[in-house]
Amino acid sequence: MQRLRSLALNPDGFAFDPTTGESFTLNATGLAVVEALREGLTAEQLTARLVERFEVSPLDASRDLDDFLDHLRSFRLL
């Protein structure tokens, strides 16, 4: 989570890790998730936000969120 918090994010979804120099491109959903995680939202709150913002079912939102969190872990961002 420390690395996620230190990412430099721009509104277009470009993320730069100032510690390792790695950079990532996030789509609108990924950007919303990263911003929410940095705000400290819980998984339930985050799913609710995705449902509201992207007009998807809670099941789809939850599944996509899990998938995305796995990605973040694989990059050691979580």
Give contact residues for another protein (rule: CB under 8 A).
8, 16, 18-23, 76
Residue number, 26 or 36, with CB nearest to another protein = 26
DSSP 13: S
Least spacing, CB of residue 34 vs another protein, in Å:
17
Residue number, 17 or 64, with CB nearest to another protein = 17
Please give the distance of CA 3 from its chain centroid, rounded to a whole number: 12
Q: For the chain, where are the E strands, in sequence order?
A: 8-9, 14-16, 23-25
Please give the distance of CA 37 from its chain centroid, rounded to a whole number: 6
Least spacing, CB of residue 54 vs another protein, in Å:
29
